[in-house]
Structure 1
Amino acid sequence: MSEMRLVLKRGAVLIGVGLLLLAFIHTWSSSSRPSVDIGVKQRGHIQELLKKRNQDALSSYHDVPYVIKESVARQLDYGRCECQSDDAPILPLPRLLFPRVWAHSLSQEYLESDSDPHGVKGRRDKEYSSFQRRSYSPADLLIVAQANSPLQYPTQGVEVRPMKTIIIPGLGLKEDPRPTHTVKLTATMGTLDVAATVDGVSIEGDGQSSMVVSSSLLANLNRQLQFVTYTNTRFHPNTADTVQYGSEGHQAAFTIKVGHSAIPKLYNSGSNKGYNISALVTIATKTFLRYDKLQDLINSIRQYYPTVLIVIADDNEHPQPVTGPHIEQYIMPFGKGWFAGRNLAVSQVTTKYVLWVDDDFFFTENTKLEKMVAILENTTLDMVGGAVREVTGYSATYRHTFSVDKGDDEGDCLHVRKGYYHSIEGFPDCVVADAVINFFMARTDKMLRVGFDPRFARREFFVDALGSLHVGSCSDVKIGHASKIHLPWTKSETEKSYDRFRYSADKEGRIHTEGFYFKNRFKCMSSN
């Protein structure tokens, strides 16, 4: 028996050493991952080089004369919009038949009523500059394919507003001299025309979906191509037209994106210095059968952030009023669930950022919302999670990465792995992942776009958010978590009721499987 105990003891030691070694390898491999700069910034030097090359291509043949075609040129968008009202009709009858267009200056009306118009304008300009940097994508940059085929045309970066007119940039033809040089353009969702005419150039089909341009003079033809316009005639708020472009023996195609421009959603924090947390952040939570824990959360928030608004979604069967300054409580039907409550709470947020917390969390001296705001303000992240510190002293971040492999007729494959992609340059305690813990701050408008399916829970939300939210996690921002360690015979009736609602494993498992299989069209899922 003593020999058997010795063998078991040695085996346990070897297993322990092996586990420590594996933990070390995992920690070392994670810490060795590169740090990546994801800060909001202007275009880089590659974009500037491409811009210069485009300008060189577009500025050729400037010495070839042309005549403006007013009927087309007046439709072009020059980026100098104006709001003009109609003159008031003298007689009442025309006013009824043709409603008068009104207009007024929003800038003048708003700024004149503000005590600090220069400060408001400065904050607005700063917010818009940040919006432009965040929304910019290299895929939006105009790139003109030089004439190697010998067709020259834009490969990306051409956009038109629905039912509007633009000049198609970068069209050209570079070929050896011949009696006649000819190109043909054909659109499917709009018409083609010219904003000016050039001597010695023949145009057929102007104002139609297919147009032929020809000339015996190549320079004149290329000059004429610089005035070719596209007018969208088939309304769709977000699509693209594929334009066929060809010459004798050569064919090419390029796309023109058709859609409204992204309307910025800017937030006036009321301050030009530092981070006004009360103006920038709303704290949202959902409560059910845990009013004692909720009150502890509120008390801890008020210790550090006395004026931040707290929004509470409540689906108790017998709701109790939660009162106090800067608190909003919204009553729901009984037992609607966690994600239904999250939808309700976030829908009432009007600040730039929303902080989600569970009702059994509590703020500590390490719950620094300023750090979360700083990383969201200075990176391209849409959401940043923190760490939840248990009463045992252990801190959890729940960092996971998701990937989807293209499948067959049965569906795709979802792969969930613990870990993250890389650390964030300038924020040594922060990394980029796809899923984080239930303590996170996010851009309110981006969170609302993804939404929360009331049938599901945390992991399903992050699957829905894949490709829409840029997610990070910072381990140096921590929130406390009330103890979950309760002996069964010490639990109150309320706690037992909560457990029955919270941990209905069979029902939840069926619902989650249905969501992944049917809603997301996955045929399988792997995880560690």
Structure 2
Amino acid sequence: MRKYWVLRRHQKRNLTWSGTSLFEEVTFNQRLKGETEVPLPAEEEQRSQIEAGRWREKGGGRTAAWSGEHSGLPARSEHRPRQPREEGGARDAVTALLSRLSQPLGTRRSEFLRLLMISVFLLGLGTVVFMFRSVEFSSPMPELPHSALADQMLKLLPEERLENLFTYDGIRLFPKNQCKCEATTWQESYNFQDAYGPSELPAVKARRQAEFEHFQRREGLPRPPPLLAQPNVPFGYPVHGVEVMPLHTVPIPGLQFEGPEAPIYEVTLTASLGTLNTLADTPDSVVQGRGQKQLTISTSDRKLLNFILQHLTYTSTVYLRHRVDVVSLESKSSVVKFPVTICYPVIPKLYDPGPERKLRDLVTIATKTFLRPHKFMTMLRSIREYYPDLIVIVADDSKEPLKINDEHVEYYTMPFGKGWFAGRNLAISQVTTKYVLWVDDDFLFNNNTKIEVLVDVLEKTELDVVGGSVLGNVFQFKLLLKKSQNGDCLHRRPGSFRPLDGFPRCVVTSGVVNFFLAHTERLQRVGFDPRLQRVAHSEFFIDGLGSLLVGSCPEVIIGHQARSPAADPELANLEKTYSAFRTNTRNQVRFKLALHYFKNHLQCST
């Protein structure tokens, strides 16, 4: 049975140092009767206290001596020398204890509670230190928390793996700021700038860049960045503007998940004309379906999910010229869709204006003549009066070819009566300058025929065509289209839409007179329908509606030759034949209507 040293509670006795001790040896059961426990001193301390001291009880009148036998401790050997320091230390401890016992009961209780709190604090502190040291020595590599593990996974695929993922026929088709042509042993490669000498290359680069920027401005390039929907449904995604070239790969911008918290996040993307992948380097258990039309992301970490989405890619797998793939993005009951446009960019067709940027390097004059040699020669002389070195290209479908003694004239003959628009096509097909000025063969240049003004307008605006006036006649007209299932309705009205920005005397319209300056490449792209052999003009602007931006500057004026009949009988006979070709027949009018109905998908016009 366990034994404790206890001090009995005496409410009416005073305790003094004497030969009588109040300590008794009690059992555990006696301790439960409300007796106050006193900490047991060390064994040697107890022996010194018992053998050296005597307890005296006042009021009883008797003295009792205690020895080791009463204490329950083994008797101290008398032959063992005492240690004076230990005896003195023990005596001091007993004295301190007795002084505390002599204090009032309330004071002793508060002192006891204070010691108890200090003991509990020290015990707790020791426990924490012990646990910390134990963890430090037993776990030199502690397990990382979940977020730290996710951070380690936020990395991209290595470069060599990207090379294999986005390569087609040996060519890496992944967007980068720069490209280079690296040929294999059985291929040839060409560096085009080597065609220029080192001294002229800087100037060529400057001109090339200026022309390219003008081309981009007219084409609306570069495209504005994709329009992104902010995450609230619960996805962020691109609403518009994602474009990819056929067989190429592009990153999909703006993908983000902002849905509610969940133990597992699962997101699925599906495409139809391409495949999906991610640049994030993650296990196959997290991203399933790499390089396929359906890709699924499954993870418990929200940060990792968004990292994967932010590095998602789309690869066009079918060679298509212009198509739109609709990609779906799903998570539980939430579904969003966004378009990916598959198309090639417009390849620039730039014209070098030369180091001095002379007008002759920018503009070519083109015309078509038929059975009016005297009219053409008069017009040519007026050109040479103001522009002696401009190239003039002539298409002629007369019976007899002209004899022209001018080194700056290119003369092309055609079968007789081949047609008005066929001659236009032939003439503009031979133009090699950036701009072409179209004139009729009976016009007259004068002081107000300022080609430079028209060039300045095209250089500083996005216009494709800008017209002048013929003796004040601007012949401006607007074309308004209304869509319909059975064919569209075309309405033609005189006038213009608005002033031209930067040129208050010029306007934006749909069609102009036969005197106009145009971008050669745009004119060639629309072309002139060779089936229109006789009277035709507005048909060209109808074909160009939607692809040509047309303006008019009436301040640039060209003259017109007199319409009086020629005095020379031979020339008068030619003019008579010309008039017969000039007039539309009933069949030709009917042919025009059928052409508009079928070719232009029109059902009517006003």
Normalized against structure 2, the TM-score is what?
A: 0.70
Q: Select the structure with the greater relative contact order (CA < 8 A; seq sep ≥ 6).
A: 1
The equivalences for 1:212-291 within 5 A come to: 212-271=296-355, 276-291=358-373
Measured after TM superposition, the shift of residue 176 of structure 1 is 1.4
| CA 227–426 in structure 1, closer or farther in 2 if over 3 Å, else same | closer
CA distance in 2, matches of 1:71, 1:174: 33
Contact 1:202 1:214 in 2 (8 A): yes
CA distance in 2, matches of 1:166, 1:252: 20
The equivalences for 1:135-214 within 5 A come to: 135-136=219-220, 140-198=224-282, 202-214=286-298
Measured after TM superposition, the shift of residue 157 of structure 1 is 1.8
Measured after TM superposition, the shift of residue 408 of structure 1 is 3.8
Contact 1:386 1:477 in 2 (8 A): yes
CA distance in 2, matches of 1:262, 1:489: 53
Q: Which residue of 2 aligns with 1:104?
A: 190
| CA 350–138 in structure 1, closer or farther in 2 if over 3 Å, else same | closer
CA distance in 1, matches of 2:451, 2:601: 37
Query: Secondary structure, in 3 states, of the residue corresponding to 2:275?
Result: strand
**Which one-letter code corresponds to 1:513 in the other structure?**
L
Q: Which residue of 1 aligns with 2:154?
A: 65
**Which one-letter code corresponds to 1:186 in the other structure?**
T
Measured after TM superposition, the shift of residue 236 of structure 1 is 1.1
1:472 equivalent to 2:551? Answer yes
190-199 vs 451-460, which moves further: 190-199
CA distance in 2, matches of 1:346, 1:357: 12
CA distance in 2, matches of 1:522, 1:451: 19
**Which one-letter code corresponds to 2:561 in the other structure?**
A
1:403 equivalent to 2:480? Answer yes
CA distance in 1, matches of 2:199, 2:552: 39
Query: Secondary structure, in 3 states, of the residue corresponding to 1:103?
Result: coil
CA distance in 1, matches of 2:247, 2:599: 35
Measured after TM superposition, the shift of residue 270 of structure 1 is 0.9
Contact 2:266 2:331 in 1 (8 A): yes
Contact 2:488 2:601 in 1 (8 A): yes
**Which one-letter code corresponds to 1:396 in the other structure?**
N
CA distance in 2, matches of 1:263, 1:439: 29
Measured after TM superposition, the shift of residue 262 of structure 1 is 2.0
The equivalences for 1:353-392 within 5 A come to: 353-389=435-471
Contact 1:455 1:511 in 2 (8 A): no
CA distance in 2, matches of 1:81, 1:231: 18
Contact 2:285 2:298 in 1 (8 A): yes
Normalized against structure 1, the TM-score is what?
A: 0.80
337-346 vs 498-507, which moves further: 498-507
1:305 equivalent to 2:384? Answer no
**Which one-letter code corresponds to 1:103 in the other structure?**
S
Measured after TM superposition, the shift of residue 487 of structure 1 is 10
Q: Which residue of 2 aligns with 1:522?
A: 602
Contact 1:169 1:226 in 2 (8 A): yes
Aligned partner of 1:423 among 471, 492, 499: 499
| CA 315–63 in structure 1, closer or farther in 2 if over 3 Å, else same | farther
Contact 1:65 1:199 in 2 (8 A): no
Among all aligned residue pairs of Structure 1 and Structure 2, give the percentage whose two residues are the same amino acid.
Answer: 42
What CA RMSD, in Å, does the superposition of the two structures yield over aligned residues?
Answer: 2.3
Larger Rg: 2
CA displacement, residues 76-122 of structure 1 (integer Å, 9 cap, x when unaligned): 221311111223xxxxxxxxxxxx11113211x1222x753222111
Contact 1:285 1:312 in 2 (8 A): yes
Query: Secondary structure, in 3 states, of the residue corresponding to 1:153?
Result: strand
Consecutive unaligned residues of structure 2, counting only runs of 5 or more, are 1-149, 167-173
| CA 201–169 in structure 1, closer or farther in 2 if over 3 Å, else same | farther
Q: Which residue of 1 aligns with 2:70?
A: none
Across the two proteins, how many residue pairs are aligned to each other?
A: 444
Contact 1:239 1:257 in 2 (8 A): yes
Aligned partner of 2:177 among 51, 71, 79: 79
Q: Which residue of 2 aligns with 1:42?
A: none
CA distance in 1, matches of 2:383, 2:418: 26
**Which one-letter code corresponds to 1:162 in the other structure?**
P
